[in-house]
Amino acid sequence: MTATREFDVVIAGAGLPGLSLAAAIAGSGLSVALCDRAAIAAPDAAAGSFDTRIYAVSPGSATMLDALGAWAALPGERITAVETMRVLGDAGGALEFSAYDLHQRALAWIVEERALRAALVARVHASTATLVAPVQFASLSFDVDGATLALADGDALRARLVVGADGLNSWVRQAAGLVASPRAYAQTAVVANFDCEREHHGRASQWFRADGGVLAWLPLPGRRISIVWSAPTAMAEELAAMSAGELSQRVAAAGDHALGALTLREGPATFPLSFLRLPSVVAHRLALVGDAAHGVHPLAGQGVNLGFGDVATLAAVLAARGPIGDAGAPILLERYARQRAEPVLAMQTVTDALARAFSLDRRWLSGLRNHGMATIDRFPLIKRALAQPALR
C-alpha cells in the first residue's frame, strides 16, 4: 500500500549542504524531510588515516556550523588552522595572506569531509527532521500549492518547498526542467595526503603552473599535508598512475621542495572539474543549494563555503518568514535568490577568470598576470578586499 507524507520542506540530497540545511531549519517551526539514495549515517573512519576529501572551511562557515552545534563536535586534533597562505604565479608573481594581518584567528580551517559529515549526521539525527533513506527518486511534479516527490517504492513526499541538494549533476534540477550542463575545464583534480620532512607551520601554498595547472598544499595536523593538483586531464591521469615514490617526488619537486621530502599516505584519488552557472537557483516551489546550484573551480577552495552560504541564507529567510506560513512562497524564494546572486557570481567570476588566465600559454599574458600579482601584494587594503569574501 502506497502512502504520501506531507511536509513543509523536503530536502533531496544528504551531502554537507543538505545535512546542514535540515539541521538548521528543523527547529524553526517547519516540518522537514531529508531524503537520499544512500543511508544517512556517519562514515567509517580507519584509525590513523586521513580522508583525501579535505575542505578549507572559512571563518564564516565555521560560525554557521558552530550555531548548529556541529563545529564543537569535530575532533580538535584533526583540524588545522591555516595561519598564512602563499600564492605563486608561473613567472615570479607572488601573493601572501596572513590571518594576523586580516585580524582573524585563521584564514580557514582544514577539515576532513568524513569528520564534517559525522558531526552533521549527529545533529540531524538529534533534530525533528524525518529521514527518508536509502530511497530512489522516481519523479518530481509541481502544482500551485506544492510539489510531490514520488519514490521508487511507490510512496511519495509532498511539500510546499523542495530543495535540491543533490550535487553538480542534480537529478532534482533536471526533473524540475532546469536544464543546464556543467562546462568541463579539461582539468582533473588529483588529491592525496603526504607526510612531510619539515613542519608546515599552518601555511597553505598554491602554485599557478606554466602547464596550466594549479597545485595547492593544505596543512594537516602534524607534519602532514593534503594536496589538490588541478592538472590538464592527460597529466592528471599520469600522476594518478604513478607509484607512491614517484608521486611523492613529483609533488615535492612541483612545490620547490618547500617542506623537504614527501611520503604518500593516502590517495591519490581523482575527480573532473566543471563550471556551472544557472540563470536562477529558484523556480516554482523549488530552491537549489550547494553544487546543485553552482559549480566553481577549486583553486580558491570555496565550493563548500558557497554551499554553506546557501544554507545559511535559505535558513535565515525561512526563519524570518513572519506571518508567511508557506515555506515555498514566491516572496521567500525571491529573497533567497537575490541575497545569494552577488556573492556566488563574484566568486564564480574570479575563480573562472583566474583558471582561464593561467591556462593560456601566452608569454605577454604570463608577464601581465604575474606583474598583477606582485602589484596587489604591495597594497594591503586591496589584499584585504580580495580576502574578505572568502573569509565570509
Question: Mean pLDDT throughout 124-151?
Answer: 96
Joined together, the cell numbers standing for residue 214 give: 594549479
DSSP state of 37: S
Q: Are strands 214-220 and 286-288 parallel, antiparallel or unpaired?
A: unpaired
Give the per-residue pLDDT at 16. 97
- Indicate where the chain has its CATH 3.50.50.60 domain(s): 4-43+119-182+276-358
Q: What band does 302 get if pLDDT is binned at 50, 70 and 90?
A: confident
Give the per-residue pLDDT at 184. 84
Question: What is the residue type of 190?
Answer: V
Give the per-residue pLDDT at 216. 94
Residues counted in the chain: 392
The pTM is what? 0.90
Question: Mean pLDDT throughout 166-192?
Answer: 91
Give the per-residue pLDDT at 210. 80
For the segment 265-293, what is each residue's pLDDT rounded down to a tens digit? 999 999 998 889 999 999 999 999 999 99
Report the mean per-residue pLDDT for the chain. 88
For every residue of 6-60, DSSP letters joined together read: EEEEEEE--SHHHHHHHHHHTTTT--EEEE-SS---PPP--TT---S-EEEE-HH
**∠ CA(378), CA(381), CA(382), 5° rounding?**
70
For the segment 79-97, what is each residue's pLDDT rounded down to a tens digit? 999 999 998 876 566 778 8
Q: What band does 388 get if pLDDT is binned at 50, 70 and 90?
A: low
Question: What is the residue type of 139?
Answer: S
Joined together, the cell numbers standing for residue 389 give: 569574501
Q: What are phi and psi of 168, to 5 degrees?
A: -60, -40
pLDDT at 207 over 60: yes
Q: How far is CA 72 from CA 62, 64, 263, in A?
A: 10, 11, 31
What distance in Å separates the CA atoms of residue 55 and residue 72, rounded to the nearest whole number?
A: 17
Q: What band does 369 get if pLDDT is binned at 50, 70 and 90?
A: low
Question: Mean pLDDT throughout 187-204?
Answer: 96
% of residues, the chain, pLDDT over 90 = 68
β-bridge partners, 193: 226, 266
% of residues, the chain, pLDDT over 70 = 88
Joined together, the cell numbers standing for residue 349 give: 567570476
For the segment 53-76, what is each residue's pLDDT rounded down to a tens digit? 999 999 999 999 999 999 999 999
Class of domain 54-113+183-274 as given by CATH: alpha beta
Q: What band does 373 get if pLDDT is binned at 50, 70 and 90?
A: low
Give the per-residue pLDDT at 349. 82
Joined together, the cell numbers standing for residue 298 give: 577549486
Joined together, the cell numbers standing for residue 231 give: 592538472
pLDDT at 314 over 90: yes
Which ranges constitute the DSSP H helices of 198-296? Answer: 233-240, 244-254
Q: How far is CA 373 from CA 69, 135, 387, in A?
A: 39, 49, 14
Give the per-residue pLDDT at 245. 97
According to CATH, the superfamily of the domain at 4-43+119-182+276-358 is: FAD/NAD(P)-binding domain (3.50.50.60)
pLDDT at 193 over 60: yes
Q: What band does 46 get if pLDDT is binned at 50, 70 and 90?
A: low
- Indicate where the chain has its CATH 3.30.9.10 domain(s): 54-113+183-274
